[in-house]
Structure 1
């Protein structure tokens, strides 16, 4: 059985989207987790804070990923579960910040909020229709 992350990563790659992971944490631990989930192959760029010598929400970390992908912030979205590190960090560089709801926060001011990853394609379609 495939995980939800794998299913959506596969679909986004099929749709020719460039994908990156920006994660705070220890390099080997984070990469072991990514490999255990079998999602590494879907991502064009993976940045781990320990190896980059900076942590989200540092704007330079988001810009580094965008530079490696050769995309502009206004054509990019960032999906995360932390209101400051992910959503506000992405918005600070001009990206759309999408919050994946969790039990730690009741409400997050984001460009979009989603309860489930299955909502992501319609959110991407909505943002694309506004360009």
Structure 2
């Protein structure tokens, strides 16, 4: 598709070559090919493998479940150690001292009757704190909701 820039008749335009107004696309194609080659070279190769860091299994035996000591406080504020009633606070302190020596540290599950005095529960908690026992669980708290 060409366009003529002059008239053929008149003023001596017959001996001049015809002016071409079409765009030369060769340099444009060359530049596009160079850019395409650079793009292909700079793209990192796609790996079809997925790298995962899997945990290393050890042959260590599973941990043993902790020893559980039940401490019950009945309605008369009598403290029981694994079902056996303790005579006084000194017996409670002696039992807590023995429990503090065990490795791993045992769990103390404390269950109190709603009618028991707070003094008995506070004595158990304070004695456990003094001996360094920090694995405590207070059971049966749903009874105190109302």
Structure 1-normalised TM-score? 0.33
Q: Per residue, is there more helix in 1 or in 2?
A: 1
Structure 2-normalised TM-score? 0.30
